[in-house]
Amino acid sequence: MTARPPSIDLLLRSDAGRAAVSRFGRGATVAALRSAAERARTGEIATDAIAAHALAALEQAAWPSLQPVINLTGTVLHTNLGRALLAEPAIAAAIAAMSGAATLEYDVATGGRGERDDHVRGLLRELTGAEDAIAVNNNAAAVLLALATIAAGRETIVSRGELIEIGGAFRMPAIMQSAGTRLVEVGTTNRTHARDYEDAIGADTALLMKVHTSNYRIEGFTAEVAPRDLAAIAHATSLPLLDDLGSGTLIDLTRHGLPRERTVADAIRDGADLVTFSGDKLLGGPQAGFIVGRRDLVARCAKHPLKRALRLDKIRLAALEATLKLYRDPDRLAETLPTLRLLVRPESDIRTMAETLRPALSTWAGPDWRVEVIACRSQIGSGALPVETLPSAGLALSPAGRASGSALDVLSARLRSLTPPVIGTIRDNAVRLDLRCLEDPATLLAALT
Ligand SMILES: *Cc1c(COP(=O)(O)O)cnc(C)c1O
């Protein structure tokens, strides 16, 4: 037999009730109290805990859905965890842009109208060697816009070895269909030759396209046409070449001891008429996509009605401008740009941090778990350098005795229930935490206590 719940009026005057009203407002509090009172009536919760339950429910509902996490997956540019972290100047610029009016499409010198792409156009030209540049929502948008502008109603020729699926709904054939261009596949999965492209060019051809095979590599008996040769084939019949670099990088990564990736400037130098790439992959900025290349073609893309639908807002443009400006001092980029800083972090550094954190993690996990420092390999992620990995270190938590198969899932869930949630991976009968992306051990220690 449960006691009759007190009236809502009485509950509103309790300590928890008053706290709830001051934090969440009267309307929401009354609704939460009613629903908690209903649960008390059915015996689900105690009658004297109604207000406390209502407050807890309101607090839980107020918790952000999009919340910070600690990324210990070992994938630096993790698409599901938000890819690149912004540099300090980019964060400051974004805050300034979102806090007040800004010169988004305004020319302060003349007092007349300005163009939003002008905030990044010059920088992109300078950093890529391209004649002109525009920025849109992401690289998928850049590819869509370029295809719709240059090749709608006509044919685009692509190698069968490059018909990528990036994940989700980004499959090259589907993007082509959305852009209204007819896909003409040439060659085979493993081998495509110059004559395959040449034979496919006809009266209806609008474009030749090269796509970076971002998340796989074809090995063995393979052949592809070098970008420079493909540009020559396109130009011989006055056709443009679009090179979708995917991640794209503005600098020679080997200078930082990383695997080689073709730069945007390489693609322009090799003769691509348009190059598309991402803002939040290796470039290390906010989500964005770029079309850089020949002035007349970029201008056509900028005038296409889709451009308006795909354009960037002031917050991201501000962050982008600040990010691109960091590239003017490439020698300091490994300090100033978080993405590069994480990628070049030496294994010894990461191992030292793992050794420091091991006791705290062992205490947290409890006697049923063995916690060891391990060597592991980090991934760059987001379709940049799919096969190459970086030597790293971390902690592996494995069952100390005999444990059921679900023990690892339970431990993972415990890590995810921390504030902020800690995200690792399960492999080789252990929960593995790659510490490459943990720059400050205090954030993990705080989450554990
Ligand atoms: C990642 C990628 C895209 C999509 O870029 P987003 O910025 O994620 O929209 C397109 N093409 C290639 C080759 C990619 O690697």
Q: What are phi and psi of 157, to 5 degrees?
A: -100, 125
Structure tokens at 264: 């945007």
* CA 247 / ligand 1 centre spacing (Å): 6
Provide residues with CB under 6 Å of ligand 1.
138-140, 143, 164, 166, 170, 211-212, 214, 244, 246-247, 278, 289, 383
CATH class of 70-80+341-448: alpha beta
Q: What is the pLDDT of residues 58-100, one digit of tens each?
A: 999 999 999 999 999 999 999 999 999 999 999 999 999 999 9
Q: Is the pLDDT of residue 404 over 90?
A: no
Which residues, listed in sequence order, are joined to residue 171 by a DSSP beta bridge?
Answer: 165
Q: Using N-to-C axis directions, what is the helix angle for 50-62 and 15-24, rounded to 10°? A: 20
207: pLDDT confidence band, cut at 50, 70 and 90? Answer: very high
**Which amino acid is present at 108?**
V
Q: Which atom of ligand 1 is nearest to the CA of 288?
A: 7
Q: Which atom of ligand 1 is nearest to the CA of 384?
A: 15
Q: Which atom of ligand 1 is nearest to the CA of 79?
A: 8
- The residue contributing the CA closest to ligand 1 atom 1 is 246
Q: What is the pLDDT of residues 24-36, one digit of tens each?
A: 999 999 999 999 9
* Contact status, residue 11 vs residue 37, Cβ threshold 8 Å: yes
- The residue contributing the CA closest to ligand 1 atom 12 is 246
The mean per-residue pLDDT over the stretch 192-216 comes to 95
Element (H, E) at 390: strand 389-399
DSSP string, 405-416: TTHHHHHHHHHH
- The residue contributing the CA closest to ligand 1 atom 5 is 139
* CA 425 / ligand 1 centre spacing (Å): 24
* CA 324 / ligand 1 centre spacing (Å): 19
Q: Which atom of ligand 1 is nearest to the CA of 164?
A: 13
At 385 the pLDDT is 72
* CA 242 / ligand 1 centre spacing (Å): 14
Q: What is the pLDDT of residues 106-163, one digit of tens each?
A: 999 999 999 999 999 999 999 999 999 999 999 999 999 999 999 999 999 999 999 9
* Three-state secondary structure call for residue 334: helix
The mean per-residue pLDDT over the stretch 256-274 comes to 96
* CA 269 / ligand 1 centre spacing (Å): 21
* Three-state secondary structure call for residue 219: coil
Q: Which atom of ligand 1 is nearest to the CA of 142?
A: 9
Alpha helices by DSSP H, 270-346: 295-303, 305-310, 314-326, 333-336, 338-343
* Cα–Cα distance for residue pair 294/265, rounded to 1 Å: 13
* CA 285 / ligand 1 centre spacing (Å): 14
Burial of residue 393, with CB atoms counted within 10 A of its CB: 0-12 exposed, 13-18 middle, 19 or more buried:
buried
- The residue contributing the CA closest to ligand 1 atom 7 is 139
* Cα–Cα distance for residue pair 27/326, rounded to 1 Å: 48
* Cα–Cα distance for residue pair 54/31, rounded to 1 Å: 9
346-368 in b/e burial notation, b at 16+ Cβ within 10 A? ebeebbebbeebeeebbebbeee
Q: Which atom of ligand 1 is nearest to the CA of 215?
A: 15
Mutate to test the pocket of ligand 1, among 170, 264, 385 (most ligand atoms within 8 A of CB): 170
CATH class of 88-336: alpha beta
Structure tokens at 381: 């992620």
The mean per-residue pLDDT over the stretch 421-439 comes to 97
* CA 263 / ligand 1 centre spacing (Å): 15
Above pLDDT 70, what percent of the chain? 99
273: pLDDT confidence band, cut at 50, 70 and 90? Answer: very high
The mean per-residue pLDDT over the stretch 383-387 comes to 72
* Contact status, residue 420 vs residue 447, Cβ threshold 8 Å: yes
* Cα–Cα distance for residue pair 310/292, rounded to 1 Å: 16
At 1 the pLDDT is 47
Q: Is the pLDDT of residue 2 over 70?
A: no
Q: Which atom of ligand 1 is nearest to the CA of 143?
A: 10
Q: How many residues does the chain have?
A: 449
pTM of the complete model: 0.94
Burial of residue 56, with CB atoms counted within 10 A of its CB: 0-12 exposed, 13-18 middle, 19 or more buried:
middle
The mean per-residue pLDDT over the stretch 315-335 comes to 97
The mean per-residue pLDDT over the stretch 276-296 comes to 98
Q: Is the pLDDT of residue 169 over 80?
A: no
- The residue contributing the CA closest to ligand 1 atom 10 is 246
Sign of CA dihedral 383, 385, 387, 391: negative
Q: What angle do CA 268, 273, 278 make, to 5 degrees?
A: 65
